[in-house]
Structure 1
Amino acid sequence: MEALLITISSVLIVVGLVGGVIQVVPGPALCWVGVLVWVIFTDAGWGRWVVLVVATLLAIVGTIVKFAIPGKQLKESGVPTVTILAGIVLGIVGMFVIPVVGLFVGFVLGVFLAEALRAKSFSGAWPSTVEALKATGLSVLIELLTAFAIAVTFVLGVIFA
Protein backbone atom coordinates (compact mmCIF):
# COMPACT_ATOMS: atom_id res chain seq x y z
CA MET A 1 0.00 0.00 0.00
CA GLU A 2 2.85 2.37 0.82
CA ALA A 3 4.37 1.88 -2.64
CA LEU A 4 1.01 2.73 -4.25
CA LEU A 5 0.75 5.94 -2.21
CA ILE A 6 4.31 6.93 -3.11
CA THR A 7 3.46 6.29 -6.77
CA ILE A 8 0.28 8.38 -6.58
CA SER A 9 2.18 11.19 -4.85
CA SER A 10 4.97 10.95 -7.41
CA VAL A 11 2.50 11.19 -10.30
CA LEU A 12 0.95 14.30 -8.74
CA ILE A 13 4.40 15.83 -8.36
CA VAL A 14 5.43 15.00 -11.93
CA VAL A 15 2.19 16.55 -13.23
CA GLY A 16 2.96 19.57 -11.04
CA LEU A 17 6.43 19.86 -12.57
CA VAL A 18 4.96 19.70 -16.06
CA GLY A 19 2.36 22.26 -14.98
CA GLY A 20 5.19 24.51 -13.85
CA VAL A 21 6.42 24.58 -17.42
CA ILE A 22 3.25 24.72 -19.51
CA GLN A 23 1.11 26.52 -16.93
CA VAL A 24 -1.99 24.35 -17.33
CA VAL A 25 -2.13 23.52 -13.64
CA PRO A 26 -0.55 25.36 -10.73
CA GLY A 27 2.68 23.37 -10.46
CA PRO A 28 3.81 24.08 -6.88
CA ALA A 29 0.30 23.59 -5.52
CA LEU A 30 -0.04 20.20 -7.20
CA CYS A 31 3.41 19.17 -5.98
CA TRP A 32 2.38 20.21 -2.47
CA VAL A 33 -0.79 18.10 -2.76
CA GLY A 34 1.39 15.14 -3.75
CA VAL A 35 3.46 15.64 -0.58
CA LEU A 36 0.27 16.03 1.48
CA VAL A 37 -1.14 12.74 0.17
CA TRP A 38 2.09 10.98 1.09
CA VAL A 39 2.20 12.57 4.57
CA ILE A 40 -1.42 11.85 5.46
CA PHE A 41 -1.78 8.32 4.14
CA THR A 42 1.60 6.74 4.82
CA ASP A 43 3.34 5.85 8.03
CA ALA A 44 6.79 7.16 7.21
CA GLY A 45 7.50 8.35 10.74
CA TRP A 46 7.62 11.80 12.22
CA GLY A 47 10.03 13.02 9.52
CA ARG A 48 7.19 13.15 7.03
CA TRP A 49 5.72 16.08 8.95
CA VAL A 50 9.01 17.95 8.59
CA VAL A 51 8.81 17.30 4.84
CA LEU A 52 5.27 18.74 4.79
CA VAL A 53 6.35 21.86 6.69
CA VAL A 54 9.30 22.42 4.33
CA ALA A 55 7.11 21.81 1.25
CA THR A 56 4.48 24.20 2.61
CA LEU A 57 7.04 26.93 3.25
CA LEU A 58 8.51 26.43 -0.23
CA ALA A 59 5.04 26.66 -1.81
CA ILE A 60 4.11 29.80 0.11
CA VAL A 61 7.41 31.59 -0.47
CA GLY A 62 7.50 30.51 -4.13
CA THR A 63 4.00 31.82 -4.73
CA ILE A 64 4.77 35.16 -3.11
CA VAL A 65 8.04 35.53 -5.02
CA LYS A 66 6.35 34.47 -8.29
CA PHE A 67 4.11 37.53 -8.14
CA ALA A 68 6.32 39.99 -6.24
CA ILE A 69 9.52 39.95 -8.30
CA PRO A 70 7.98 40.10 -11.81
CA GLY A 71 5.46 42.67 -10.58
CA LYS A 72 8.24 44.82 -9.16
CA GLN A 73 10.19 44.41 -12.40
CA LEU A 74 7.18 45.63 -14.42
CA LYS A 75 6.62 48.63 -12.15
CA GLU A 76 10.32 49.58 -12.23
CA SER A 77 10.31 49.46 -16.02
CA GLY A 78 7.47 51.96 -16.09
CA VAL A 79 4.60 49.68 -17.06
CA PRO A 80 1.49 51.24 -15.45
CA THR A 81 -0.84 49.26 -13.19
CA VAL A 82 -3.72 49.71 -15.65
CA THR A 83 -1.63 48.02 -18.34
CA ILE A 84 -0.84 45.11 -16.02
CA LEU A 85 -4.54 44.77 -15.16
CA ALA A 86 -5.42 44.73 -18.87
CA GLY A 87 -2.86 41.97 -19.32
CA ILE A 88 -4.33 39.98 -16.44
CA VAL A 89 -7.89 40.33 -17.76
CA LEU A 90 -6.95 39.27 -21.29
CA GLY A 91 -4.77 36.52 -19.81
CA ILE A 92 -7.78 35.08 -18.02
CA VAL A 93 -9.86 35.32 -21.19
CA GLY A 94 -7.04 33.77 -23.20
CA MET A 95 -6.85 30.86 -20.78
CA PHE A 96 -10.34 29.82 -21.86
CA VAL A 97 -9.98 30.68 -25.54
CA ILE A 98 -6.59 29.13 -26.32
CA PRO A 99 -5.79 25.94 -24.40
CA VAL A 100 -2.36 25.63 -22.75
CA VAL A 101 -0.78 28.92 -23.89
CA GLY A 102 -3.80 31.23 -23.69
CA LEU A 103 -2.83 32.75 -20.36
CA PHE A 104 0.51 33.94 -21.72
CA VAL A 105 -0.80 35.00 -25.11
CA GLY A 106 -3.68 36.90 -23.49
CA PHE A 107 -1.43 38.61 -20.95
CA VAL A 108 1.07 39.79 -23.54
CA LEU A 109 -1.70 40.83 -25.94
CA GLY A 110 -3.45 42.74 -23.15
CA VAL A 111 -0.25 44.59 -22.28
CA PHE A 112 0.45 45.32 -25.93
CA LEU A 113 -3.06 46.66 -26.63
CA ALA A 114 -3.20 48.74 -23.44
CA GLU A 115 0.18 50.27 -24.18
CA ALA A 116 -0.73 50.85 -27.84
CA LEU A 117 -3.79 52.78 -26.67
CA ARG A 118 -1.76 54.74 -24.13
CA ALA A 119 1.12 55.49 -26.53
CA LYS A 120 -1.26 55.93 -29.49
CA SER A 121 1.02 53.77 -31.62
CA PHE A 122 1.93 50.12 -31.99
CA SER A 123 5.65 50.88 -32.05
CA GLY A 124 5.38 52.70 -28.72
CA ALA A 125 3.83 49.60 -27.15
CA TRP A 126 6.81 47.30 -27.81
CA PRO A 127 9.04 48.30 -24.87
CA SER A 128 6.31 47.55 -22.34
CA THR A 129 5.39 44.35 -24.15
CA VAL A 130 8.99 43.16 -24.04
CA GLU A 131 9.09 43.89 -20.30
CA ALA A 132 5.84 41.93 -19.90
CA LEU A 133 7.40 38.98 -21.74
CA LYS A 134 10.46 39.11 -19.49
CA ALA A 135 8.28 39.24 -16.39
CA THR A 136 6.16 36.33 -17.63
CA GLY A 137 9.26 34.25 -18.31
CA LEU A 138 10.64 35.05 -14.88
CA SER A 139 7.33 34.08 -13.30
CA VAL A 140 7.35 30.71 -15.09
CA LEU A 141 10.95 30.11 -14.02
CA ILE A 142 10.16 30.89 -10.38
CA GLU A 143 7.14 28.57 -10.45
CA LEU A 144 9.18 25.77 -12.02
CA LEU A 145 11.99 26.16 -9.48
CA THR A 146 9.48 26.14 -6.64
CA ALA A 147 7.84 22.96 -7.95
CA PHE A 148 11.27 21.37 -8.39
CA ALA A 149 12.30 22.30 -4.83
CA ILE A 150 9.11 20.70 -3.48
CA ALA A 151 9.78 17.59 -5.59
CA VAL A 152 13.33 17.31 -4.25
CA THR A 153 12.01 17.73 -0.70
CA PHE A 154 9.54 14.89 -1.33
CA VAL A 155 12.22 12.57 -2.74
CA LEU A 156 14.52 13.27 0.21
CA GLY A 157 11.60 12.68 2.55
CA VAL A 158 10.78 9.32 0.97
CA ILE A 159 14.43 8.29 1.20
CA PHE A 160 15.22 9.53 4.71
CA ALA A 161 11.93 9.83 6.63
Structure 2
Amino acid sequence: MSTGGLVLVALAIAVGLAGIILPVLPGAFLVIAAIGVWAFVEGGVVAWVTFGIAAAVFAAAEVIKYTWPVKRMRRAEVRTSVLVVGAIAGFVGFFVIPVIGLLIGFVAGVFAAELAIRRDLVRAWASTVHAVKGVALSIGVELAGALLATVAWVVGVFLTV
Protein backbone atom coordinates (compact mmCIF):
# COMPACT_ATOMS: atom_id res chain seq x y z
CA MET A 1 0.00 0.00 0.00
CA SER A 2 1.25 3.48 -0.80
CA THR A 3 2.20 6.02 1.82
CA GLY A 4 -0.92 8.02 1.01
CA GLY A 5 -3.06 4.93 1.55
CA LEU A 6 -1.41 4.25 4.91
CA VAL A 7 -2.03 7.86 5.94
CA LEU A 8 -5.72 7.53 5.01
CA VAL A 9 -6.05 4.30 6.99
CA ALA A 10 -4.27 5.91 9.95
CA LEU A 11 -6.60 8.91 9.71
CA ALA A 12 -9.66 6.64 9.66
CA ILE A 13 -8.32 4.83 12.72
CA ALA A 14 -7.71 8.14 14.50
CA VAL A 15 -11.25 9.29 13.71
CA GLY A 16 -12.55 5.96 14.99
CA LEU A 17 -10.61 6.32 18.25
CA ALA A 18 -11.99 9.84 18.69
CA GLY A 19 -15.47 8.47 17.94
CA ILE A 20 -15.17 6.12 20.90
CA ILE A 21 -14.49 8.97 23.30
CA LEU A 22 -17.04 11.33 21.74
CA PRO A 23 -19.80 8.90 20.78
CA VAL A 24 -20.82 10.52 17.52
CA LEU A 25 -19.36 7.89 15.19
CA PRO A 26 -19.26 4.11 15.51
CA GLY A 27 -15.65 4.32 16.69
CA ALA A 28 -14.47 0.75 17.16
CA PHE A 29 -16.25 -0.38 14.02
CA LEU A 30 -14.50 2.36 12.04
CA VAL A 31 -11.13 1.22 13.42
CA ILE A 32 -11.66 -2.43 12.47
CA ALA A 33 -13.10 -1.46 9.07
CA ALA A 34 -10.03 0.67 8.30
CA ILE A 35 -7.74 -2.22 9.26
CA GLY A 36 -9.85 -4.51 7.07
CA VAL A 37 -9.49 -2.18 4.09
CA TRP A 38 -5.73 -2.08 4.67
CA ALA A 39 -5.57 -5.91 4.79
CA PHE A 40 -7.64 -6.19 1.62
CA VAL A 41 -5.50 -3.71 -0.32
CA GLU A 42 -2.18 -4.93 1.12
CA GLY A 43 -2.98 -8.62 0.69
CA GLY A 44 -0.71 -11.40 1.83
CA VAL A 45 -0.49 -13.59 4.88
CA VAL A 46 0.89 -10.94 7.25
CA ALA A 47 -1.88 -8.47 6.42
CA TRP A 48 -4.64 -11.03 6.90
CA VAL A 49 -3.15 -12.43 10.12
CA THR A 50 -2.86 -8.86 11.40
CA PHE A 51 -6.51 -8.27 10.53
CA GLY A 52 -7.47 -11.55 12.21
CA ILE A 53 -5.71 -10.54 15.42
CA ALA A 54 -7.28 -7.08 15.32
CA ALA A 55 -10.72 -8.59 14.66
CA ALA A 56 -10.34 -11.04 17.56
CA VAL A 57 -9.35 -8.22 19.91
CA PHE A 58 -12.27 -6.14 18.59
CA ALA A 59 -14.74 -9.00 19.14
CA ALA A 60 -13.46 -9.70 22.65
CA ALA A 61 -13.67 -6.01 23.58
CA GLU A 62 -17.23 -5.79 22.25
CA VAL A 63 -18.33 -8.77 24.36
CA ILE A 64 -16.60 -7.46 27.48
CA LYS A 65 -17.93 -3.94 26.84
CA TYR A 66 -21.49 -5.18 27.24
CA THR A 67 -21.11 -7.88 29.88
CA TRP A 68 -18.79 -6.39 32.48
CA PRO A 69 -20.59 -3.04 33.10
CA VAL A 70 -24.01 -4.72 33.06
CA LYS A 71 -22.87 -7.20 35.69
CA ARG A 72 -21.62 -4.36 37.90
CA MET A 73 -24.82 -2.34 37.47
CA ARG A 74 -26.98 -5.34 38.33
CA ARG A 75 -24.99 -5.79 41.53
CA ALA A 76 -25.68 -2.12 42.30
CA GLU A 77 -29.40 -2.73 41.55
CA VAL A 78 -29.58 -0.29 38.64
CA ARG A 79 -32.59 -1.33 36.57
CA THR A 80 -32.47 -1.78 32.81
CA SER A 81 -35.56 0.41 32.41
CA VAL A 82 -33.72 3.24 34.16
CA LEU A 83 -30.80 2.88 31.73
CA VAL A 84 -33.22 2.97 28.79
CA VAL A 85 -34.74 6.21 30.11
CA GLY A 86 -31.21 7.59 30.54
CA ALA A 87 -30.27 6.59 26.99
CA ILE A 88 -33.38 8.25 25.56
CA ALA A 89 -32.78 11.40 27.60
CA GLY A 90 -29.13 11.39 26.47
CA PHE A 91 -30.21 11.09 22.84
CA VAL A 92 -32.58 14.05 23.22
CA GLY A 93 -29.94 15.99 25.16
CA PHE A 94 -27.44 15.46 22.35
CA PHE A 95 -29.65 17.47 20.00
CA VAL A 96 -30.61 20.10 22.57
CA ILE A 97 -27.03 20.74 23.73
CA PRO A 98 -24.62 19.39 21.09
CA VAL A 99 -22.03 16.84 22.29
CA ILE A 100 -22.16 17.45 26.08
CA GLY A 101 -25.96 17.18 26.06
CA LEU A 102 -25.55 13.43 25.67
CA LEU A 103 -23.89 13.14 29.08
CA ILE A 104 -26.14 15.71 30.72
CA GLY A 105 -29.28 14.07 29.34
CA PHE A 106 -28.14 10.59 30.36
CA VAL A 107 -27.36 11.65 33.93
CA ALA A 108 -30.59 13.63 34.26
CA GLY A 109 -32.66 10.81 32.76
CA VAL A 110 -31.20 8.12 35.03
CA PHE A 111 -31.57 10.33 38.10
CA ALA A 112 -35.17 11.29 37.27
CA ALA A 113 -36.17 7.69 36.52
CA GLU A 114 -34.59 6.37 39.72
CA LEU A 115 -36.16 9.16 41.76
CA ALA A 116 -39.58 8.40 40.27
CA ILE A 117 -39.25 4.69 41.06
CA ARG A 118 -37.59 4.75 44.49
CA ARG A 119 -38.64 8.16 45.81
CA ASP A 120 -35.30 8.34 47.62
CA LEU A 121 -32.91 11.12 46.67
CA VAL A 122 -29.80 9.41 48.05
CA ARG A 123 -30.56 6.07 46.37
CA ALA A 124 -31.40 7.80 43.08
CA TRP A 125 -28.07 9.62 43.11
CA ALA A 126 -26.17 6.42 44.00
CA SER A 127 -27.78 4.62 41.05
CA THR A 128 -26.90 7.52 38.79
CA VAL A 129 -23.26 7.35 39.87
CA HIS A 130 -23.20 3.57 39.23
CA ALA A 131 -24.75 4.07 35.77
CA VAL A 132 -22.18 6.73 34.83
CA LYS A 133 -19.36 4.49 36.07
CA GLY A 134 -20.78 1.66 33.97
CA VAL A 135 -20.84 3.81 30.84
CA ALA A 136 -17.29 5.01 31.53
CA LEU A 137 -16.15 1.40 31.98
CA SER A 138 -17.81 0.44 28.71
CA ILE A 139 -16.09 3.27 26.86
CA GLY A 140 -12.77 2.36 28.46
CA VAL A 141 -13.04 -1.28 27.41
CA GLU A 142 -13.98 -0.30 23.85
CA LEU A 143 -11.09 2.18 23.68
CA ALA A 144 -8.62 -0.39 25.03
CA GLY A 145 -9.75 -2.93 22.43
CA ALA A 146 -9.48 -0.41 19.60
CA LEU A 147 -6.03 0.68 20.77
CA LEU A 148 -4.83 -2.94 20.90
CA ALA A 149 -6.21 -3.48 17.38
CA THR A 150 -4.35 -0.34 16.29
CA VAL A 151 -1.12 -1.66 17.80
CA ALA A 152 -1.61 -4.91 15.87
CA TRP A 153 -2.09 -2.87 12.69
CA VAL A 154 1.06 -0.81 13.32
CA VAL A 155 3.07 -4.00 13.81
CA GLY A 156 1.52 -5.44 10.64
CA VAL A 157 2.45 -2.32 8.67
CA PHE A 158 6.08 -2.55 9.83
CA LEU A 159 6.21 -6.24 8.91
CA THR A 160 4.87 -5.59 5.40
CA VAL A 161 7.02 -2.57 4.56
Per-residue Cα deviation, 1:5-62 (whole angstroms, up to 9, x for no partner): 111110011111222222222221111111012111224x211011111111122221
Q: Which position in structure 2 is the counterpart of 1:85?
A: 84
Q: Which position in structure 1 is the counterpart of 2:16?
A: 16
Q: What pairs up with 1:69-148 in 2 under 5 angstroms? A: 69-148=68-147
Partner Cα separation in structure 2 for residue 7 and residue 130 of structure 1: 40
TM-score in terms of structure 1 length: 0.90
Q: Do 1:16 and 1:29's aligned partners in 2 also have CA atoms closer than 8 Å?
A: yes
Partner Cα separation in structure 1 for residue 155 and residue 99 of structure 2: 31
Secondary structure of the structure 1 residue equivalent to 2:77? coil
Q: Do 1:5 and 1:37's aligned partners in 2 also have CA atoms closer than 8 Å?
A: no
Q: Which position in structure 2 is the counterpart of 1:60?
A: 59
Secondary structure of the structure 2 residue equivalent to 1:20? helix
TM-score in terms of structure 2 length: 0.90
- Whether 1:3 and 2:11 are equivalent positions in the alignment is no
Partner Cα separation in structure 2 for residue 102 and residue 59 of structure 1: 28
Partner Cα separation in structure 2 for residue 12 and residue 41 of structure 1: 15
Number of paired residues?
160
Partner Cα separation in structure 1 for residue 101 and residue 34 of structure 2: 26
Secondary structure of the structure 1 residue equivalent to 2:98? coil
Provide structure 1 residue ranges, at least 5 long, that are not aligned to the other structure.
Answer: none
Partner Cα separation in structure 1 for residue 93 and residue 53 of structure 2: 34
Partner Cα separation in structure 1 for residue 132 and residue 152 of structure 2: 30
Provide structure 2 residue ranges, at least 5 long, that are not aligned to the other structure.
Answer: none
Partner Cα separation in structure 2 for residue 99 and residue 8 of structure 1: 27
Q: Do 1:108 and 1:133's aligned partners in 2 also have CA atoms closer than 8 Å?
A: yes
Partner Cα separation in structure 1 for residue 102 and residue 62 of structure 2: 17
Secondary structure of the structure 1 residue equivalent to 2:16? helix
Q: Do 1:5 and 1:42's aligned partners in 2 also have CA atoms closer than 8 Å?
A: no
Partner Cα separation in structure 2 for residue 150 and residue 103 of structure 1: 27
- Between 1:140-149 and 1:21-30, the stretch displaced more is 21-30
Q: Which position in structure 2 is the counterpart of 1:27?
A: 27
